Every structure is written in C-alpha cells, then in structure tokens.
Chain A
Amino acid sequence: MIPASFEYVRADSVDGLLGALTEHGDEAKILAGGMSLIPLMKFRLAVPSVLVDAGRLDDLRYIRDGGDHVAIGALTRHRDLETNDLLGAECGVVRAVAAEVGDNQVRHRGTIGGSVAHGDSASDLPAVLLALDADFVIRGASGERVVAAADFFTGYFETVIAPDELLTEVRVPKSGPAGFSYQKFNRRAQDWAIVGSVAVRVGDSTRVGLVNMGPTPLRARGVEMALAEGASATDAAGAAAEGTEASADINATAEYRGHLARVLTRRALEAMV
C-alpha cells in the first residue's frame, strides 16, 4: 500500500520545524518514528500534504535527571527507554512498560513523543504517564508551555497540541525502581492492548491507569479511592470500569472490556511489588 503524495520536509532544528509548521498550518503533520503515522498514511486514513520529518532532531533525544523528575526528550525511542538505567532507577515503570510496546523493530523507531502526541488511548505509555502525573512540554512559535497529563488528552487521537506546536519533552515525576505492575491483554504479542491496566505506587498512594478503556487514557479513580480507604485489591479492582467509556470492536465488546479492566487491575494490584 502506498500513501498519497506529500511534500517531504526534513527539519534540521526545532526552530526550523516550527517554521515549517507555521508555514504549512494544519496541512502539515510531524513525522517522528512513524510507527503509527505511516500505517495510517498507507491506509490513507491520514493524508497530510506536507510531512515534516523530526526524526533527525537528536537534540530532543535524551533522558536526564531533572531533580524531582526525569526529563525525556520527545524523540527518545522506546529502545532508549527500555535500556536506560537512570529511568530504571527513578521511574522503573516507564522503562518496563516501554519494553512492552509493539516489538523490537517498532521500539527501534517509535518515540515517546510520537506515542504521546498521537493520542491513541490503546498505546501503553500514555496511561502510565497519566498515572504518574507527568508533565508535557510543548513549544510553539510564541514560546513554551507545560501541560499536565490530566489536561493533555482531549479525545480520540486528540490532544491539546496545536497544529503549529511541537511536543519537546516529557517530565516524569520520580516513582522509584519498583512498586508497579503493568498487565496488558492482547491476542498477539506485538498487538495493541485490548485492555491494559497499570498500577504504580507513588509515595503512600497507589495510582491506576487504564489503556484502551475510552477515547483517552484514563485513571481508575474509583479504584484509587477504594485503596486509599483500605479496600483489598480484589474489592478495589471491582471499581475499575466505573466511569469508563470503552468502545466495542472486532477484539472485544464494551462489556468484555469492562470485565478485562477489573481482572487486569486486580492482577496488577496483586502483582505490584
């Protein structure tokens, strides 16, 4: 399958990329690793007339200690995340979940920024970043702004990033090397999660994030509140599907997704070490 024609622009700097976005407006799409965008273009579900390739902006490929958080450049690849010791020590859950994304080939190309900016609720990392209350740094021609994960995802494949803006950095609060579990349910190893549930301990509280249980990644607030009130993992997990808007597709009905959310959340809470 061959995508529709487009003009290819290779960005050699962040400013250059922002300039190209300003010039082409919403006709343009940013290409990072391309692991989601290129299949969409091949199916012609995405038909950008200008593709701005950010793939060589190595300035945005880093994992740094930011004090109370780990700063991850938007073009950092999943492979970088899953092999990074700083991330393993300070945000073990991000490193572990990055290793669950797609397959080796996908992780070699796919980036954390691409995964976040794509806004697919079936992606693994956005739900984790939401559970950890990560911040996203977005740069536009007029400057930089920082958006909390809770305010970032707005709908199916939609985020607060404007057409002329670029996600440059993900700031993940430190949660330590352990105390988490990610339960991903899919039929083939490399597939997207039919449903996923991540449980992670942050300080005294336990956070739960849900993958593919609605238009955006979600927090299982009901579960978190029940745990805070001292409920057992089994009892708390019973609230996992509350307030979700799971869709039905070829893989699962909405009802079955609700069931999966409860079961996977219970497993995540029990396995959390």
Chain B
Amino acid sequence: MLPSCSTPQAPSRERVTRDREFRRRTRFWNSQTDVTFTERSEQRGSEPKKIACTETASVRAEVTCQDAAMQIAMLVNGVGQSHDVEARTLLVQYLRESCTLTGTKVGCDTSSCGACTVLVDGESVKSCTMFAAQADGADVTTVEGLADGPNWHAIQTAFHEQHGLKCGYCTAGMMMAAVGFLAENPNPTDRDVRLGLEGNLCRCTGYQNIVASVLAAADSMKLGSMKLGSMEADSMETGQ
C-alpha cells in the first residue's frame, strides 16, 4: 500500500522549545500592541504567556507546533534537515520556521511576487506554492546557500555593485530566480532576463538595475568559467 502519513508524532523537546520561541517572536512581529505588552511583561520579569495574539500568529503557531503528522527530510544548502511537519506545511514556512532560514521572504503568498523563490533540485520554484512534503528528499538552495563562506556568489556581487535593490525585500527571491535562470540560459539578452524574471516583482527599483545586475552576473560567471577552463587547460598542458 502507499506510504501514508497520518499518524501524529510527539514533537521533540528541542522542537517544543523552538516553537515556543517562535510563538513569542511571532507576537513581536505581528502587532504593535503585542510588542508593547510583551515588553512590559518582560520588564516585570514574567513570561509573556497570556497575550492575545493576532489571528495570524495563532494559526501559525498551531501549524508549526501541533499535530505533527509526518517526518520529512531534505538537503538545504548542503545541510541535512529533518523535521516533523503537518502535511499542509508550505515549503517557505518549513524553511523559515523549522530550518530557521529566514532569508527567504513571504511576499504576496499567492504565487505572484516571487519573493519566496528558492531552488529545488536546481530549478527555481515559489516556495509559498509548494508543500514541504513535495520537497521531501530534494536538494534545496536558499539565499543563505549562495555564498561560499566569505566569498559572495557572482549574483550577490552583481546586485551589490549594480545597485540591484532598494528596500531589499524582493532581493532574495530575485537572486534565486536569477541563479536558476542563468543556469538555464548563461548567455541572456536584456529581453531574456526580463522574461526570465517575469515571475518576480519589485516595487522599488523599476527593474532597470536588477536587469543590469543579472547581466553583469552572467558576464562575471562566464569569465569565471573561462578562467576555470583555461586553468584546466593549463594544468593539462603542464601535466598537473
């Protein structure tokens, strides 16, 4: 029979602690009133337990900490991740809340804006429109996985140098979409880039500098691979 995943499992102690922390933080983020209330409670030294949280916060908390229904595992930025989640957990929610990788943003939450774009097995997807369970066993890359230690990815350098952002909210998704696109089309024209990024919205820059960034990244990635190629050729010639 099919692998069915409806048996609830008790969340681990570590997980319960993390979820409690998440709920606390969610209240901070969701409502100014809650922030004040929480701060006041903290000043008094009491646990901010009984704050009426916003609907969003309560729904989210319920999703992340209760009714864990299935275990999923995936490689995220080269690191193995495994968590108990409800089947309805969206990939973006999983990445942000279970993996605590908050570089991926939720923008429109309706598959329009692309702020939540990540790579799944090398292809760009909108992680707000994919269940985490669908990525079970996949190789996922988020914006946190772009840089190689202190060395920025070419797309990051290009966005920095070409002023490819203003407020920065769309940037993670924009860069991930661009990386996925450049892997499919390493020699794009201006128009190719605009079409390639049609799934990503930016409300600040007017796209000009974003397109310039992606074109610059394409050039520097080509240069990089040419250098790598000539190094390989050199080493072949010298027999090293």
Assembled-state Cα–Cα distance A12/B1 (Å): 9
> Of residues 1 to 53 in A, which have CB atoms within 8 Å of B's CB atoms?
1-12, 16-17, 19-20, 31, 34-35, 38-39, 41-42, 51, 53
Please name all residues of chain A whose beta carbon is closer than 8 Å to the beta carbon of B63 when the two chains form the complex. Answer: 2
Please name all residues of chain A whose beta carbon is closer than 8 Å to the beta carbon of B200 when the two chains form the complex. Answer: 103
> Of residues 38 to 74 in A, which have CB atoms within 8 Å of B's CB atoms?
38-39, 41-42, 51, 53, 55
Contact (Cβ within 8 A) A108 B1:
no
Contact (Cβ within 8 A) A105 B199:
yes
Identify which of A39, A51, A104, A109 contacts B180 (C-beta below 8 A): A104
Please name all residues of chain A whose beta carbon is closer than 8 Å to the beta carbon of B111 when the two chains form the complex. Answer: 35, 38-39, 106
Most buried by B among A19, A41, A53: A53
Identify which of B4, B90, B131, B198 contacts A104 (C-beta below 8 A): B198
CB distance from A54 to the nearest CB of B (A): 11
CB distance from A259 to the nearest CB of B (A): 26
Contact (Cβ within 8 A) B110 A103:
no
**A79 on the interface (CB 8 Å rule)?**
yes
**A146 on the interface (CB 8 Å rule)?**
no
Assembled-state Cα–Cα distance A108/B195 (Å): 15
Please name all residues of chain B whose beta carbon is closer than 8 Å to the beta carbon of A103 when the two chains form the complex. Answer: 114, 198-200
Closest to A41 in B: B88
**B53 on the interface (CB 8 Å rule)?**
no
CB distance from A28 to the nearest CB of B (A): 12
**A248 on the interface (CB 8 Å rule)?**
no
Contact (Cβ within 8 A) B196 A104:
yes
Please name all residues of chain B whose beta carbon is closer than 8 Å to the beta carbon of A38 when the two chains form the complex. Answer: 111, 129-131
Assembled-state Cα–Cα distance A44/B70 (Å): 22
Assembled-state Cα–Cα distance A51/B130 (Å): 13
Q: Knowing A11-B2, A16-B1, A108-B123, say if A39 contacts B134 (CB, 8 Å).
A: no
Closest to B93 in A: A2
**B181 on the interface (CB 8 Å rule)?**
yes
Q: Knowing A38-B129, A190-B112, say if A106 contacts B199 (CB, 8 Å).
A: yes
Identify which of A6, A12, A190 contacts B3 (C-beta below 8 A): A12
Contact (Cβ within 8 A) B129 A34:
yes
**A162 on the interface (CB 8 Å rule)?**
no
Assembled-state Cα–Cα distance A53/B180 (Å): 25
Closest to A38 in B: B129
Q: How large is the interface on A (under 10, 10 to 19, 20 to 34, 35 or more residues)?
A: 35 or more
CB distance from B27 to the nearest CB of A (A): 18
Contact (Cβ within 8 A) A5 B4:
no
Assembled-state Cα–Cα distance A6/B86 (Å): 9
Closest to B85 in A: A8
Assembled-state Cα–Cα distance A9/B87 (Å): 9
Please name all residues of chain A whose beta carbon is closer than 8 Å to the beta carbon of B100 when the two chains form the complex. Answer: none
**B6 on the interface (CB 8 Å rule)?**
yes
> Of residues 154 to 209 in A, which have CB atoms within 8 Å of B's CB atoms?
188-190
**A238 on the interface (CB 8 Å rule)?**
no
**B133 on the interface (CB 8 Å rule)?**
yes
**A88 on the interface (CB 8 Å rule)?**
no
Contact (Cβ within 8 A) B124 A104:
yes
Contact (Cβ within 8 A) A79 B87:
no
CB distance from B110 to the nearest CB of A (A): 6
Contact (Cβ within 8 A) B2 A19:
yes
Identify which of A16, A41, A190 contacts B199 (C-beta below 8 A): A190
**B236 on the interface (CB 8 Å rule)?**
no
**A102 on the interface (CB 8 Å rule)?**
yes
CB distance from B1 to the nearest CB of A (A): 7
Contact (Cβ within 8 A) A34 B112:
no
Please name all residues of chain A whose beta carbon is closer than 8 Å to the beta carbon of B134 when the two chains form the complex. Answer: 31, 34, 53, 55
B interface with A by C-beta (< 8 Å): 1-6, 59-60, 63, 67, 69-70, 86-88, 90, 93, 109-112, 114, 117, 123-126, 129-131, 133-134, 136, 177, 180-181, 195-200
Instruction: Pull 16 A–B residue pairs with CB atoms less than 8 Å apart, ordered by A.
Output: A4-B88, A7-B87, A8-B6, A10-B2, A11-B2, A19-B1, A19-B2, A31-B134, A34-B129, A34-B131, A38-B111, A39-B111, A39-B129, A42-B110, A103-B114, A105-B199
